Amino acid sequence: MGTLQTYRANGHAASGYLAIPEGSRGPGILVIQEWWGLVDHIKSVADRFAAAGFVALAPDFYHGQVTDSPDTAAKLFMALNIDRAAADLRGSADFLLGRPEVAGARVGALGFCMGGQLALYAGMVCSEQIGAVVDFYGIHPNVRIDPARLAVPVLGHFARRDSSVPVAAAEALATSVIAAGGRFDAHFYDADHAFFNDTRPAVFHQESAALAWDRSVAFLRRHLG
């Protein structure tokens, strides 16, 4: 359904996978990768959003690098240039907002693992372009979230059996955002980290993934129109 696109992002070239709903306009959404890179699973999620009526862009934060090796993924994850990532987020949001198929003045940001943390970060640093954030078990030690700057509505999906993002840490994040005047609706699932990724049978949990999907689509439609 989608195509690879190249566009400008704060003075440099960026790229991503763009999926457009057939024959209609719709809200825009950034679909942000896990630490594996812009792999087929993330492209399929963008396609799925397009089938649901969204204009979905999955930016390539590794600029062509993908892997199925946890060791290589960890190195790419830790080598992520946060300033460049912020520029890519802004440029990607601007690119979406400039598309004639995109309805509305702001787009959503949704991501998984590393991408979940980057989606939260987008809500901080791109608040003029981002209207809603969906965080699937977000984590990145170098991407710091300031609850006072996260003013857009957030929907969080977390796993109870997730040692990377413990329940207490997820609850603390939601509580701190709410205490700072923001909105953070957190849901917890009896599943493992990466439970949404249907290409990883060891952790994929169909019931939790389906429920999280339905909640995410409803949330994004409500806040993006």
Q: Going from the N-terminus, what domains does the chain have, and what CATH number goes with each?
A: 3-224 (3.40.50.1820)
Mean pLDDT across 184-203: 97
Look-up: residue for tokens 């300033």? 83
Residue type, 73: A
Share of the chain above pLDDT 90, in %: 93
Distance of CA 205 to the CA centre of its chain: 19
CA distance 103 to 27: 5
CA distance 148 to 122: 14
Residue 10: pLDDT above 80? no
Model pTM score? 0.96
| First CA to last CA distance, the chain | 23
Task: With CA atoms as reference, report the closest residue to 14 among 114, 66, 91.
Answer: 91
As beta bridge partners, residue 192 has 161
Residue 199: pLDDT above 80? yes
Confidence label for 12 from pLDDT (cuts 50, 70 and 90):
confident
What torsion do the CA atoms of 136, 24, 41, 169 make, to the nearest 10 degrees? 0
CA distance 16 to 63: 9
For all residues of the chain together, what is the average pLDDT?
95
Share of the chain above pLDDT 70, in %: 100
- Segment 117-136, tens digit of pLDDT: 999 999 999 989 999 999 99
User: Cβ distance 114 to 33 under 8 Å?
Assistant: yes
